[in-house]
Structure formats: C-alpha cells, structure tokens
Structure 1
Amino acid sequence: MKRKNMAWILWNEGRPLELTDECLAQSSTLSEVLRCIHISLLCVQQHPDDRPSMSSVIVMLGSESALPQPKQPGFFLEKDSNAAHCFSSKQESSSTNEITTTLLEAR
C-alpha cells in the first residue's frame, strides 16, 4: 500500500497553498510561502542525489533565483498494515530535544 504525498499532489494540481494554515498565509508574502513549499519538495525527492545540500537550501531560501522543478518525492511503502497499526498504537515514552535556530544575514 502506497501512502501518497499530499504536498506533491497539491503541487502538481497547482494548489500548493492549500498546505498552509490561513494565519501563515496572511502573515507571509505569497511568494515566500510558495518558495518554501517548492524548496521542501526539492528536499524530499526520491533519489538522494537529486536533493539539494543544506548549504544550497540556505542559498535558495535567501535568494529569489529560479528553482529547479522538483521530481517526485519518495513514498513510504507499507508492507504490513497490521504491523504498522500495532506499532503506532504502542505507548512509548518520548523525549524533547531543544533546537537553536540561527538566522544568517548578509553584510
């Protein structure tokens, strides 16, 4: 059973903004939201060699240059739906990881 990537489907149907929450779309410029979705799809392409490096992603986010068209993302192939169901229903402890984000600004 293949799980389809909703972002990819909406992108191909020309409806990528349906991925965003209304408050995000109102607080950001439309072009920035579309660019982030586009870059996200580049990062999840099926073949790792097609994916941009993190340094390339940073450049893409900070520029307005043309982006390559994303190729189809990888799909999760669920071999045993019962095993997946049992795994998802287990009560497991989780941990919280703290993340620091740094914004780079050009001089």
Structure 2
Amino acid sequence: MNSIRKLRLHRGMTQKEFGDIIGVKQQTVCKYEGKNSNVSLSVLQKISDKFDIPVEELLEDKIDHYISTGSRKNASNEIKANIIARVKRLNSHKLKKLLEFLSILDED
C-alpha cells in the first residue's frame, strides 16, 4: 500500500520503527508497502489511531493531502509514539543513562 510507505517516509521512520508503533514486525511493514499486499482493516485502524489520519485517506491513497495539511497535533502525537517505541527497546543500562540525562534537563 503506497500510502503506508509515503506516511512512513514522510515521518522519517524505518520500517522497524513504523512497525513498532503499530505493533507489527519490520517484514510485515515491508509486505504492506508491496504492490500486491493486503492490509487488514484492523491494521489500518491502528495506523489511523496512532497517526491521527482517517482510514479513508489511507485506503484511497490520499496521503499526499494529509502530509501537506497535517496539523501540529498530528506531528506531536507521532513524535510521542516514536519516543515511546524507542524507549521500550532500550536495555536497562541505556534506560538508566536516559533517565540521568532527563534529570539534568529538569534542573534549573
């Protein structure tokens, strides 16, 4: 589905990062982006929910309109989802380093 690829590339995400956000493997995202792939309605709904884009725009490949008119709220939600997906992949050592860094940011 071309709209999934366009959305992912517009957001600067790898297939793995995109898959982590919608709960599928990188290989599955690769299949979704293929020309002869079928994406279930439940997966389209997840993409719709996570990226705040109507399912109809995904189905009708109107993603270009969404990309050009997307709101700041959409971008903010996507950034949050991307951060959460990345934090979930951190091992305990890297998570501790991240928490140390965040505590430094909180200091005034």
Alignment TM class, shorter chain as reference: under 0.3
Q: Compute the TM-score of the two structures, normalised by the length of structure 2.
A: 0.28
Which structure has the higher relative contact order (CA within 8 Å, separation 6+)?
1
Higher helix share: 2
Q: Compute the TM-score of the two structures, normalised by the length of structure 1.
A: 0.28
